[in-house]
Amino acid sequence: MRLTRYFLPVLKETPAEAQIVSHRYMLRAGMIKQASAGIYSWLPLGYKVLKRIEQIVHEEQIRAGHIPLLMPTLQGADLWRESGRYDDYGEEMLRITDRGGRDLLYGPTNEEMITDIFRSYVSSYKALPLTLYHIQWKFRDEIRPRFGVMRGREFLMKDGYNFDLTKEDALHAYNRHLVSYLRTYERMGLQAIPMRADSGPIGGDDTHEFLVLAETGESEVFYDSAVTDLTFGDRDIDYDSVDQCAAIMEEFTTKYARTDETHDEALFNAIPEERRRVARGIEVGQIFYFGTKYSEPMGATVQGPDGKPVPVHMGSHGIGVSRLMGAIIEASHDDKGIIWPEGVTPFHCGIVNLKQGDGDADAACENLYAQLTAAGLEPLYDDREERAGGKFATMDLIGLPWRITVGPRGLKNGVVEVTSRRTGESEEMSPEAAIARIREIYGA
Ligand SMILES: Nc1ncnc2c1ncn2[C@@H]1O[C@H](COP(=O)(O)OP(=O)(O)O)[C@@H](O)[C@H]1O
Ligand SMILES: [Mg+2]
């Protein structure tokens, strides 16, 4: 993409309504525009990052053996009456009446609808285990939408639902989700700590939230500092292995880590004092096991091996896809702007032409642009007639992790400059070496 042809409405001023850094930078970098309270348009740059996040979520769900589908945003009220949640859910649920007087709602979550799909087609235990998921917009009429995409009213969520014959199988699905979530967040450059939590309106006893530590987080968290040393890394996982998934669950959830809802002073105080931490965190995901809470009232039963009908054991598992963008920025920025982790960056690198119109500089930039594109990468070429300071400020604000700077003076010596957004360090090298470096970083 060439900046002169892109749509990147960068703001000079810091918008007054934004209280936290991720919201400020998303507005300033032209990533989102508020449409109404808690509802946003995703401008091209924001949309690109959203798609990258979504793609990682898809890849890791599919790797874990979960199956994508797509359910609608609008749901009939009848299914929710069957589960008993139509009245229970409260004012967060947006209720709509169509022209025929039928009650609809904009889905805040999809347990009922997926249970209905399941019961319509599955009748034998032989179809199990089964996990279906989708990435779809949700609406929750939050009393205080705030912090931009962090607490929106309309937001994008990955929600998945497992169907299993026994509690034991469903707990394996729970562990499998935990493992896939750890991988997912790490690929986005995030450390998200699983913490024992409260289940809220979804119901059930077993639930963990995944929290990214950040001062601006809405949740108060208590943990043993040893949990922050755990990393998932590049492990080979057999998602069918009950033992392997259970071992990872144990590794990541045995040390004390809880949200304020389940915090236990006595247990916390048993941790050596120097390891006790009280902090704030952003909830970027949650997994639940709730057994037969929906399958029983909604008649989602299968014929077991002995021929008798049994209600299936279920769980649901969510990732806050749009919220993650804010969480990543909260975790990775400086006073000049965003610093995207390579895994989710909207463009792989920036190309800054210090002297637009100079024959050599223009030709070198075009060549870099063509070769990086041919390698399957997406560079953003700042080809505006603008002074160098302005170009650097834009690149720093929008946070591309790598920048190649091209100017007539360097070219006389056969070099361009490659700069890391994270460290600010620059290195001079030939244009060919710069291309090789960027390709190597992204494995392209
Ligand atoms: N209002 C919201 N705006 C943005 N993301 C949200 C919002 N509510 C929930 N999410 C995201 O969706 C994920 C799954 O939702 P869920 O656990 O059902 O939400 P909650 O715990 O807020 O009831 C959450 O972990 C969070 O990351
Ligand atoms: Mg939650």
Q: How far apart are CA 34 and CA 59, in angstroms?
A: 30
The pLDDT of residue 11: 95
- Per-residue pLDDT reduced to its tens digit, 323-372: 999 999 999 999 999 999 999 999 999 999 999 999 999 999 999 999 99
Residue 84 C-alpha to ligand 2 middle, in angstroms? 20
Ligand 1 centroid vs 323 CA: distance in angstroms?
8
202: pLDDT confidence band, cut at 50, 70 and 90? low
Question: Per-domain residue ranges for the chain?
Answer: 20-337, 347-442
Average pLDDT over residues 225-254: 96
**Mean pLDDT (whole number) for 370-386:** 98
Residue 16, pLDDT score: 87
- pLDDT attached to residue 15: 87
Ligand 1 contact via 421 beta carbon (within 6 Å):
no
User: Residue 17 has what pLDDT?
Assistant: 86
- What does the pLDDT read at residue 199? 73
The answer to whether 30 touches 8, Cβ cutoff 8 Å, is yes
Which tens digits make up the pLDDT trace of 68-100? 999 999 999 999 999 999 999 999 999 999 999
If pLDDT is split at 50, 70 and 90, which confidence band does 238 have?
A: very high
Note the pLDDT of residue 201: 67
Q: What's the confidence (pLDDT) of residue 204?
A: 63
pLDDT band at 198 (very low <50, low <70, confident <90, very high): confident
Separation of CA 291 and ligand 1 centre (Å): 21
| Residue 93, token pair as written in the block | 């649920």
**How does pLDDT run across 96-131, given as a tens digit for each residue?**
999 999 999 999 999 999 999 999 999 999 999 999
Q: Which fold has domain 20-337?
A: BirA Bifunctional Protein; domain 2 (3.30.930)
Question: Which residue has its alpha carbon closest to ligand 1 atom 14?
Answer: 318
pLDDT of 14 above 90? no
- The CATH number assigned to the domain with range 347-442 reads 3.40.50.800
Ligand 1 atom showing the smallest separation from residue 200 Cα: 23
Counting atoms of ligand 1 from 1, which one is nearest the CA of 284? 27
Average pLDDT of the chain, as a whole number: 96
Helices 167-187, 44-63: crossing angle, 10 deg rounding: 140
- Output the residue whose Cα is nearest ligand 1's atom 22: 283
Is the per-residue pLDDT at 395 higher than 90? yes
Q: Residue 176: which pLDDT band, with cuts at 50, 70 and 90? A: very high
- Which pLDDT value is given to residue 223? 97
